[in-house]
């Protein structure tokens, strides 16, 4: 069962860390997953040219906090003429959970999630329009999402303006219950990318999300004077996020040396009382002509929701004890290596790359305690991604 985390809306597609986070599970079910290249390749493209024809095969793994997630993924993208590009994506999560929420209020479990996505990009002059549809299914959760995106190049490509809209319809069917709950999600995106100098690029993006329906997890419990009672959330949730990113390339005279550094700051707030700040830094460079290395760091901190408590002193209209709605912070450090090979035509393939990415995340919850020890809860997580890409 997947429940939306208030502040973690796929972490604003952070290409510096390729880290995407999802909420998903009976009990607590939050885990970060490195969807990485496959997700971003499928949804991002230049405004002046169509995305390149390519295929990606990926294996991903997450292990932390009593939760393990792993599975394969596949992306295929192919152009039709000079103006149309089609893509399809298949993604699988195999989940095994004995997280703190599960072991304190329920039994460990296993589950499987499958997601399909199809999309089309259409290029007209300096305007790129895209549309995609995705369907996700697991034992107790169904999700359908429609995405629309438009980007426009201005001033000979020095400025790019983009906008997007997504609408999602989710259905929750709790296990061993005849109940059915619905969630409607609406997401609005605006972006501006500006080339400031030949080696400096600035990006600013805004995202607003409106959600309505059954937003809490039917399996999770709050505590009132030590006793466990079902959580109750408001029926609506509105959030806004603003991000600023700068990328600096390095060169020696007129010769590029294949180095770049980037930094990003993101501010988030919602009507549940949560505010958060994210700082991300990254550096990458080529070693020779075929090996690209990258290191990145990310810091995240947030305040608690107005209706969150580790242990309520009395019953309230809305009550939550989801640790992801508490006051907490996390630090992550990661690296990525990309090896390009088969440069030049080989059969129908122009070139290929082998990619390895690893991130370690340390979570520290200030006002969520482990009821087994009475101490503030913390844990570390390991995220691994291995994928191969082919251009044709």
What tens digit of pLDDT does each residue of 72-125 get?
999 999 999 999 999 999 999 999 988 888 777 767 878 999 999 999 999 999
User: For residue 1, which of 25, 21, 23 has the smallest C-alpha distance?
Assistant: 25
Assess contact for 233 and 213: CB atoms under 8 A.
Answer: no
Kindly state the average pLDDT of the residues 262-289.
Answer: 96
Residue 39 host element (H or E): helix 36-43
Instruction: Compute the distance between CA of residue 350 and CA of residue 168 in angstroms, rounded to an integer.
Output: 37
**Could you tell me the two tokens for 318?**
């809305």
Assess contact for 149 and 129: CB atoms under 8 A.
Answer: yes
Which CATH superfamily does the domain covering 10-391 fall into? monomeric porin ompg (2.40.160.40)
The residue extents of the domains of the chain are: 10-391
How many residues in the chain?
A: 392
**Could you tell me the two tokens for 271?**
């009507």
Kindly state the average pLDDT of the residues 332-343.
Answer: 94
User: In the predicted model, is pLDDT for residue 8 greater than 60?
Assistant: no
Q: What's the whole-model pTM score? A: 0.86
DSSP string, 298-341: EEEEEPPPTTB-SSBSS--SSBB--GGGSSEEEEEEEEEEEEEE
Each residue's pLDDT tens digit, 125-182:
999 999 999 999 999 999 999 999 999 999 988 999 999 999 999 999 998 888 899 9
Instruction: Read off φ and ψ for residue 221, nearest 5 degrees.
Output: -125, 145
Between vectors from CA 336 to CA 67 and to CA 200, what angle results, nearest 5°?
Answer: 125
Adjacent-strand bridge partners of 121: 85, 130
């Amino acid at each position: 069962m997947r429940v939306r985390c208030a502040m973690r809306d796929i972490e604003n597609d952070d290409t510096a860390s390729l880290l995407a986070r999802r909420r998903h599970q009976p009990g607590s079910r939050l885990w970060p997953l490195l969807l990485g290249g496959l997700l971003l390749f499928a949804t991002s493209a230049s405004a002046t040219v169509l995305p390149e024809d390519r295929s990606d095969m990926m294996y991903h793994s997450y292990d932390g906090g009593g939760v393990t997630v792993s599975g394969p993924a596949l992306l295929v993208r192919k152009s039709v003429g000079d103006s149309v590009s089609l893509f399809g994506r298949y993604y699988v999560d195999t989940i095994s959970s004995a997280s703190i929420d599960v072991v304190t209020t329920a039994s460990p479990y296993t589950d499987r999630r499958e997601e399909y996505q199809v999309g089309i990009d259409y290029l007209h002059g300096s305007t790129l329009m895209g549309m995609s549809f995705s369907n996700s299914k697991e034992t107790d959760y169904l999700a359908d999402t429609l995405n629309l995106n438009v980007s426009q190049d201005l001033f000979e490509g020095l400025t790019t303006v983009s906008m997007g809209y997504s609408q999602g319809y989710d259905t929750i069917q709790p296990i061993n219950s005849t109940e059915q709950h619905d969630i409607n999600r609406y997401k609005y995106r605006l972006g501006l990318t500006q080339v400031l100098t030949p080696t400096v690029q600035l990006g600013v993006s805004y995202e607003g999300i409106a959600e309505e329906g059954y937003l809490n997890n039917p399996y999770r419990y709050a505590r009132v004077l030590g006793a466990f009672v079902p959580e109750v959330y408001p029926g609506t949730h509105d959030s806004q996020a603003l991000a600023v990113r700068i990328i600096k390339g390095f060169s020696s005279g007129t010769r590029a040396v294949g180095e770049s550094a980037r930094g990003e700051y993101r501010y988030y707030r919602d009507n549940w009382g949560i505010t958060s700040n994210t700082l991300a830094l990254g550096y990458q460079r080529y070693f020779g002509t075929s090996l690209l290395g990258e290191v990145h760091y990310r810091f995240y901190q947030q305040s608690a929701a107005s209706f969150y408590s580790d242990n309520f002193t009395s019953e309230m209209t809305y009550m939550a004890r989801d640790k992801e709605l508490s006051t907490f912070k996390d630090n992550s450090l990661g690296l990525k290596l990309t090896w390009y090979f088969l440069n030049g035509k080989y059969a129908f393939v122009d070139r290929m790359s082998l990619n390895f990415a690893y991130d370690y995340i340390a979570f520290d919850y200030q006002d969520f305690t482990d009821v087994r020890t009475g101490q503030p809860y913390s844990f570390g997580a390991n995220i691994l991604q291995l994928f191969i890409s082919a251009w044709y």
